[in-house]
Structure 1
């Protein structure tokens, strides 16, 4: 579900620091960074080949990150910024497939009004 929906993320609704990461390495790699290092400072190595980050974001994304932030420590935002949008996209998708507001509210732990707002695009 997440990988398909990640391409539908509205980057403009993300915090500026995440927008910068998405601009640099793409939405999927930025999401992976926020999943594994969200809420923490992260040192970006000058030499990406010897970095533990290679496993998390891949060679191409790490090279781009290194080129832009080499030797700096950057703050990685938490992944909940992505998660809210992914949840809302999943709710809209399930709604289009016929799920009721009540079913969605129970599944996602939200009130009926919030589900209605998400379905209308008000959130």
Structure 2
């Protein structure tokens, strides 16, 4: 099957548009700016206080290694990032909100907040 010369430019335009619409191929980083500590939801501030205190955490997975498989955060060795659940009011499961910390387990020097289950992150500033 041979494409007509008129269809070839349209095909490539469609293909390029489709390719750039996928997040994995876009040129945007998943870390979109910062959010100040005071602008975090109250539940995220509570979770951050628990991290600094070393727990106890309400969810079993809190403190587990965050793999950064989507490569949204800066690349580090496995085990560098840890994830913590941020409670979502009126939701019976863990919800989509998380804090991800980098470095030592109780360190909050590098903290990222996501409200959309790891699609995008904002770095938390004090």
What's the TM-score once normalised by structure 1's chain length?
A: 0.24
Structure with greater helix share of residues:
1
Structure with greater strand share of residues:
2
Bigger Cα Rg = 2
What's the TM-score once normalised by structure 2's chain length?
A: 0.24
